[in-house]
Amino acid sequence: MLLSILGFLMVATFMTLIMTRRVAPLVALIVVPVLFGALAGQAPELGEMMLAGVTKIAPTAAMIMFAILYFGLMIDAGLFDPVVRRLLAVVHGDPVRVVVGTVILATFVSLDGDGSTTYMVACTALLPLYRRLGLNPLIMACLIILCSGIMNLTPWGGPTARAAAALQLEPADLFLPMIPAMALALAWLVLLAWLYGRAERRRLGRLELPAPPIPRAVPGAWNDQIAGISDLTLTEGGQVTVSTDPAACRPRLLWANAALTALLLGVLVASVMPLSVLFMLGFAVAALVNYPRMEELKARIASHAPNVLAMVSLVFAAGVFTGILSGTGMVEAMPKSLLALIPPSMGPYLAPITAALSLPGTFFVSNDAFYFGVLPVLAEAASHYGIGKPAIGAAALVGQPFHLLSPLVPSTWLLVSLSGVEFGDHQRFTMRWATATCVVLALGAMLLGVFPLRA
C-alpha cells in the first residue's frame, strides 16, 4: 500500500509541476522519481534502476533522433512542398477544412499503428498550414493524438495484442467487435474538429492566397511561438515552399526522395527491422542523395540539432522516471490498489468498471503492467458473473486515447516537440477531450453489445 501511495503521489507531483510550469519537464522527470525513490527506502538501488530505465529506452531515443533528422532533411529538400501546395489549394484558407482535414489525415496515417510515425508525418504536413493560417497548434496536437489513440486499437498497434495475449485470445476476437465503436469515436472527432474549425474561422476569418508569408498576429499564450515566423514562404514565382532555406531545396530529387520515404514507411509497416536501425539507414541514404558534400550536411544537422537534443534528452529522462517506477515496485502496487477499491457488490458491473479503470490504469503505469498484471485478475473476477474474456478485453482497450497523454509514453514527447507546444499545455488542452473520446468509445461498445453494462 505504501508503494502504491508513493507511486500515485510521484506521478501527481510530476504532473502538477509541469502543468503549472514550476519546473521544466526535463528536470522534473529526473528529480521527482529520485526523491520518491529515496522516500521508498531504496536510495542505494536508484542508480541501477535509472540505468536500467535509460537502457530500455535507448532504442526509442535513437529512433526519434534519426527520425527527426531524416524528416528534417526531407523538409529541407522540399519533399513536402507539393503536398502543402495541394493542401492550400484544397482548404482555400478555410480553418474548418484544415482542422477537419487534420482528423482525416491523422486517421489514415495512424493505420500503421505506430504513434511516432503518425506524429512525424502528420505534423510535418499540417504544422506549416496551422502556422500559415494562424491556427492554434494545440488543436492539431489534440486531434492527432486522439486519432492515434483510437487507431492504436488495430491488432498490430500494440494494446490489442497485449490484451489478447494476456487473456489467451486471438487479437481479432477483441478488435473486430470494436470496429463500429471506433468508427463512432472517429465520427465524434470529426464533429469536435468541425466545432474547433468554426471557432477558429470566427476568430481569424479566411486567408486568401497568395498572401504575405508572415502569419497574422493572434491572441493567446501560444502566439509567441508563431509571431514573426512561418514555415511557408512564397517564391518569386508565387510557389509555396516549406523549406526555410532555399539553398537546401532539391526540387530535382523530389521523386527520389518520395520513393525513399515510401520505401522507408513500407519497410516500417512490414516490421522488417527495428525502427531505430531503419531510420539510421534512411537518414544515411537521404544524406548521401541530397547533401553529399560534408559542409552541406553539417549545416543541415546543425539546423536540426536543437530539436534533436531537446527531444532525446526528454526521452532519456523519461527512462529514468519509468526505471525508478518499475524498479521500486510501484508499477505493480498501483494497479493492485485500484483493484482493491472495487467492492464485491459491483461485480456485475465489472465490464464498465474495467473500461473506467483503463484510463488511470494505462496512464499511471505502462500498457504492459496494466494488460499483463491487472487485466487477467479482472477477467477472472468477471467470469464468476458470466462476463466473458472478450468482453473484458475489449473494455480494457477503451482508455487508449487517454493513455497517450501519459508522460510515460515516449512518442507523446515527440508530438509536443514537433507541434511546438509545451507538454503541460497539451495535457490541459487535450485531457477533457481524451476523456470524452473514451466515453464515446465505451458507450458505443456497450450500445453495440461488445461488452455489457451489467452482467
Q: How confident is the model at residue 284 (pLDDT cuts 50, 70, 90)?
A: very high
Q: Per-residue pLDDT averaged across 229-256, rounded?
A: 60
Looking at residue 215, the DSSP 8-state letter turns out to be: P
What is the Cα–Cα distance from 149 to 146, expressed in whole angstroms?
Answer: 5
Q: Per-residue pLDDT averaged across 64-90, rounded?
A: 77
Q: Is 381 helix (H, G, I), strand (E, B) or coil?
A: helix
Q: Per-residue pLDDT averaged across 148-167, rounded?
A: 82
Point out the domain boundary residue: 308, 327, 362. 308
Q: Who wins on pLDDT, 240 or 95?
A: 95
Based on the domain organization, do 235 and 122 belong to the same domain?
Answer: yes
Based on the domain organization, do 284 and 431 belong to the same domain?
Answer: no
The predicted structure's pLDDT at residue 126: 86
Based on the domain organization, do 147 and 233 belong to the same domain?
Answer: yes
Is 358 among the domain residues?
A: yes
Based on the domain organization, do 369 and 410 belong to the same domain?
Answer: yes
What is the Cα–Cα distance from 429 to 433, expressed in whole angstroms?
Answer: 8
The predicted structure's pLDDT at residue 265: 75
Q: Per-residue pLDDT averaged across 272-289, rounded?
A: 88
Based on the domain organization, do 348 and 398 belong to the same domain?
Answer: yes
Q: Is the pLDDT of residue 231 over 60?
A: no
List the Cα angle 20/202/110 in 5-degree steps: 65
Q: How confident is the model at residue 342 (pLDDT cuts 50, 70, 90)?
A: confident
Q: Alpha carbon of 231 to those of 65, 134, 216: distances in Å?
A: 21, 12, 13
> Residue written as cell 539546423?
303
C-alpha cell at 435: 476523456
The predicted structure's pLDDT at residue 74: 84
Identity of the residue numbered 448: L
Give the Cβ contact number of residue 387 at 10 Å: 24
Q: Is the pLDDT of residue 23 over 90?
A: no
Q: Is the pLDDT of residue 4 over 90?
A: no
Looking at residue 331, the DSSP 8-state letter turns out to be: H
Q: Per-residue pLDDT averaged across 308-321, rounded?
A: 81
Per-residue model confidence as pLDDT tens digits over 193-223: 999 999 998 888 765 544 433 333 333 333 3
Point out the domain boundary residue: 263, 284, 308. 308
Q: Is 240 helix (H, G, I), strand (E, B) or coil?
A: strand
Per-residue model confidence as pLDDT tens digits over 396-449: 999 999 999 988 787 888 898 888 888 889 999 999 999 999 999 999 999 999
- The DSSP-derived string for 384-449 is TTT--HHHHHHHTTTTHHHHTTSTT-HHHHHHHHHHT--HHHHHHHHHHHHHHHHHHHHHHHHHTT
Point out the domain boundary residue: 273, 308, 343. 308
- Rounded CA Rg of the chain: 23
**Residue range of the domain that includes 31:** 2-55+316-447
The 3-state secondary structure of 112-150 reads HCCHHHHHHHHHHHHHHHHHHHCCCHHHHHHHHHHHHHH
Based on the domain organization, do 332 and 289 belong to the same domain?
Answer: no
Per-residue model confidence as pLDDT tens digits over 347-400: 888 899 999 999 988 888 777 777 876 787 788 788 878 888 899 999 999 999
What is the Cα–Cα distance from 180 to 184, expressed in whole angstroms?
Answer: 6
Q: Per-residue pLDDT averaged across 231-258, rounded?
A: 64
**Non-local CB neighbours of 72 within 8 Å, separated by 6+ positions:** 300, 303, 304, 307
Is 187 among the domain residues?
A: yes
Based on the domain organization, do 231 and 249 belong to the same domain?
Answer: yes
Based on the domain organization, do 295 and 270 belong to the same domain?
Answer: yes
What is the Cα–Cα distance from 387 to 369, expressed in whole angstroms?
Answer: 22
From the centroid of its chain, how far is CA 187?
20
Round the average pLDDT of the chain to a whole number and report it: 81
- What is the number of domains present in the chain? 2
> Residue written as cell 476568430?
203
Based on the domain organization, do 45 and 92 belong to the same domain?
Answer: no
Per the confidence metrics, is the pTM higher than 0.85? no
Looking at residue 371, the DSSP 8-state letter turns out to be: I
The predicted structure's pLDDT at residue 134: 86
For residues 203 and 218, is the Cβ–Cβ distance under 8 A? yes
Per-residue model confidence as pLDDT tens digits over 102-151: 998 888 878 766 677 778 778 877 888 888 788 999 999 999 999 999 98
